[in-house]
């Protein structure tokens, strides 16, 4: 039962199976190497790999043992020697993952051939060679590709051990499981599939079951030193059962995962082609799975896919968000089942191979063509370059360690990024971490303490936000900053969000005589801004102009509104910001209470390349549809020239004395944000 196989013959292949496998290997190698030098900077996990690998092997093992939710240490040790030989440039570090991605192709072939026939093995190898997700992770400086290879090898060696029963095959399986598990725990899913398979077939495989019990004991003994010494594993256990399941979450995961498995990750695929190819390849894989189950064939692969799904559920119970790599080890078995379904179509093998090349090889590649055109893996250098080019030094007459710009890194592991791409930059700015370590997430007391001290000691705070679900799930950092400081820049990059906040300084102009009433809303009792004053020098470009709006709620405000603030030069150049004022605890206007006072703070960024001279500053209060509202009343010094447009007063801007670079020049050299928020 569940062991029936189909003949190893070519089954009508148009040409030699060896030739087709060689073609698949060449194709897969090309797709994994092509333009690898244009993938951009390291992503978060990749830079963590590099930083771990910089240490000596003993230090690597100690560091990984103390880190919660970390992978086993073997990959980092191997990367240590790889980088020591080839260097730390992004393409060369990523190349270490390419061979394992290529080797998946022939291993998929021999597994498909052994379980079904040559035709199935060849078609599966072609699908694996062109799988966008496998290509993606075969070009990443992480252990996922090599771990998937070892899991696949374990499946093949087990099937082969069932056939020949040779001790050396069982020994090879045991070694594969031990080495693979020290690379990544996901290899244990192959062991789980073997157990599940033997659970249903132990009567006909009693000897194999005995071997497997011995292998599991050997695996447990081999892993015991690591398990006993790894404090990080113990620190991860409290997260057990903290995740929540819902029907909607599972449905969304299933829909997303199906596309990830068939036509590549969401950020590299697009268009209707993705849906069509995913439907065809998914239907073929499902059909092949059901056909194999009905014929009681390939029982190990039938068990492996549920084991992979169970592994994903286990991660959900640890409150881990779905990531495509959690299921990538299911792609080779899925390809084998899809190939088995194709082999049952009553057409000539030549036509079937041609259809596979068009639909399941070229189709997914076309659906994910953006990956080879414009995709960049990381862009943290663009974030740090913006800070490096625009950070202001301390005035010469003040303490340089107190009044220079500071950087707030809100999110885990950013310190590695920071030191990797700008190793000496910490000498130029102060760097604050929120939180110091993850998990747990940052507490309000820590946010209030650190940001209060940072805002007192520095004129400007550069804030980098990333992975906030793990580090700041309650949004404490942004809430504190938006209520207490003036946000001048806000740009979303691939690897994080870069913001600039201005702190308190003198030289403001006050408009506080009278009030302006928002229809059915609060009163604006005062406007304070960095306007022109005869006793103050003009402001320099490459900085923000602060605006503060003081509100008092006379009535219950049952709607939200936003403020549009802008500067307009005499030549027509405009710089603007739109934001929603918040109460002290972060509540939006619709939730303000009668008599409550709130302060809205924002800064309009003026880039270094802005024209010098006189600007007029303006305000509009926007309703839910984005239309300006006509305000009632009067506030001394401001004028409502047009309905809904309030002229606040002049601002003088002069060229930067520090020679700061314009935003456009920085973007052109280092890459711009995906969008400004």
pLDDT in tens, 337-380: 999 999 999 988 899 999 999 999 999 999 999 898 878 887 88
Instruction: Return the pLDDT at 399.
Output: 55
pLDDT score at 403: 53
Topology of the domain comprising 380-504: Rossmann fold (3.40.50)
Phi-psi region of 405 (alpha: psi -120 to 50; beta: other; left: phi over 0): beta
Rounded to a whole number, what is the largest CA-CA distance in the chain? Answer: 95
Q: Supply φ then ψ for residue 617, to 5 degrees.
A: -105, 145
Return the bridge partners of 462, or none: 407, 500
Q: Where in the chain is the domain with CATH 2.60.40.770?
A: 509-654
Task: Centre a 10 Å sphere on the Cβ of residue 654 and count the other Cβ atoms it contains.
Answer: 13
> Which regions in the chain score pLDDT beneath 70?
1-12, 394-403, 412, 425-428, 438-439, 675-677
Residue range(s) of every CATH 3.40.50 domain in the chain? 380-504
pTM of the model as a whole: 0.83
In CATH terms, the fold of domain 509-654 is Immunoglobulin-like (2.60.40)
Nearest CA among 199, 327, 170 for reference residue 260: 327
Q: In what helix (H) or strand (E) does residue 427 lie, and over which residues does it extend? A: none
Provide the token pair at 359. 């639909």
Between the two ends of the chain, the Cα-to-Cα distance in Å is 59
- The rounded distance, in Å, linking the Cα atoms of 328 and 306 is 13
User: How many Cβ atoms are within 10 Å of 17's Cβ, its own excluded?
Assistant: 20
CA–CA distance, 618 with 141 (Å, rounded to integer) = 49
Q: How far apart are CA 594 and CA 599, in angstroms?
A: 15
Tell me how crowded residue 554 is: count the other CB atoms within 10 A of its CB.
15
**pLDDT (tens digit per residue) in 153-162:** 999 999 999 9
């Amino acid at each position: 039962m569940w062991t029936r196989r189909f003949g190893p013959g070519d089954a009508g292949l148009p040409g030699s199976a060896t030739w087709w496998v060689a073609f698949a290997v060449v194709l897969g190698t090309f797709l994994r190497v092509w333009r690898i030098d244009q993938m951009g900077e390291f992503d978060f996990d990749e830079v963590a790999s590099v930083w771990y690998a910089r240490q000596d092997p003993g230090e690597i093992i100690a560091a990984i043992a103390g880190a919660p939710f970390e992978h086993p240490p073997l990959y980092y040790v191997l990367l240590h020697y790889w980088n020591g030989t080839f260097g730390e440039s992004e393409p060369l570090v990523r190349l270490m993952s390419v061979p394992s991605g290529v080797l998946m192709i022939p291993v998929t072939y021999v597994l498909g051939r052994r379980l079904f026939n040559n035709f199935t093995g060849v078609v599966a190898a072609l699908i694996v060679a062109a799988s966008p997700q496998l290509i993606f992770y075969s070009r990443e400086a992480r252990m996922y590709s090599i771990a998937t290879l070892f899991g696949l090898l374990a499946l093949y060696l087990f099937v082969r051990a069932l056939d020949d029963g040779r001790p050396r095959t069982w020994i090879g399986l045991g070694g594969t499981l031990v080495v693979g598990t020290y690379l990544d725990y996901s290899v244990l899913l192959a062991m789980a599939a073997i157990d599940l398979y033997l659970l249903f077939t132990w009567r006909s495989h009693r000897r194999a079951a005995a071997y497997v019990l011995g292998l599991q004991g050997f695996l447990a003994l081999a892993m015991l030193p690591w398990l006993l010494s790894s404090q990080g594993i113990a620190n991860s256990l409290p997260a057990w059962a903290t995740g929540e399941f819902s029907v909607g979450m599972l449905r969304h995961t299933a829909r997303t995962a199906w596309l990830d498995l068939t036509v590549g990750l969401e950020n590299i695929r697009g268009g209707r082609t993705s849906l069509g190819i995913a439907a065809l390849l998914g239907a073929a894989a499902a059909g092949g799975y059901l056909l194999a189950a009905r014929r009681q064939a390939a029982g190990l692969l039938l068990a492996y896919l549920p084991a992979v799904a169970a592994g994903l559920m286990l991660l959900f119970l640890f409150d881990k968000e779905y990531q495509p790599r959690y299921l990538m080890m299911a792609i080779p078995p899925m390809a084998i089942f899809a190939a088995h379904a194709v082999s049952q179509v009553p057409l000539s093998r030549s036509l079937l191979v041609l259809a596979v090349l068009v639909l399941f090889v070229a189709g997914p590649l076309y659906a994910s063509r953006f990956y080879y055109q414009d995709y960049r893996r990381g862009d943290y250098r663009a974030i740090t370059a913006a800070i490096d080019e625009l950070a202001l030094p301390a005035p010469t007459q003040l303490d340089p360690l107190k009044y220079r710009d500071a950087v707030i890194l809100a999110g885990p592991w950013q310190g590695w990024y920071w030191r990797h791409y700008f190793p000496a930059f910490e000498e130029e700015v102060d760097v604050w971490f929120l939180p110091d370590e993850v998990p747990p997430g940052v507490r309000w007391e820590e946010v209030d303490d650190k940001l209060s001290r940072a805002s007192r000691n520095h004129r400007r705070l550069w804030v980098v936000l990333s992975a906030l679900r793990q580090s700041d799930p309650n949004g404490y950092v942004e809430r504190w900053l938006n209520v207490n400081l003036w946000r001048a820049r806000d740009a979303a990059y691939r690897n994080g969000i870069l913001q600039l906040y201005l702190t308190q300084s003198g030289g403001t102009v006050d408009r506080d005589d009278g009030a302006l009433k928002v229809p059915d809303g609060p009163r604006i009792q005062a406007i304070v801004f960095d306007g022109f004053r005869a006793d103050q020098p003009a402001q320099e470009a490459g900085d923000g102009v602060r605006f503060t709006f003081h509100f008092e709620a006379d009535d219950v405000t049952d709607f939200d509104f936003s403020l549009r603030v802008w500067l307009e030069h005499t030549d027509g150049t405009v710089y603007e910001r739109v934001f929603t004022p918040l109460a002290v605890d972060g509540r939006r206007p619709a939730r303000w209470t009668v008599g409550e006072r709130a302060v809205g703070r924002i800064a309009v960024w003026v880039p270094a390349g802005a024209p010098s001279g006189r600007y007029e500053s303006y305000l509009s209060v926007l309703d839910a549809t984005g239309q300006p509202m006509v305000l009632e009343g009067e506030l001394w010094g401001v004028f409502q020239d047009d309905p809904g447009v309030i002229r606040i007063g002049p601002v003088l801007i002069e060229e930067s004395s520090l020679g700061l670079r314009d935003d456009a020049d920085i973007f052109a050299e280092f890459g711009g944000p995906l969008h400004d928020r």
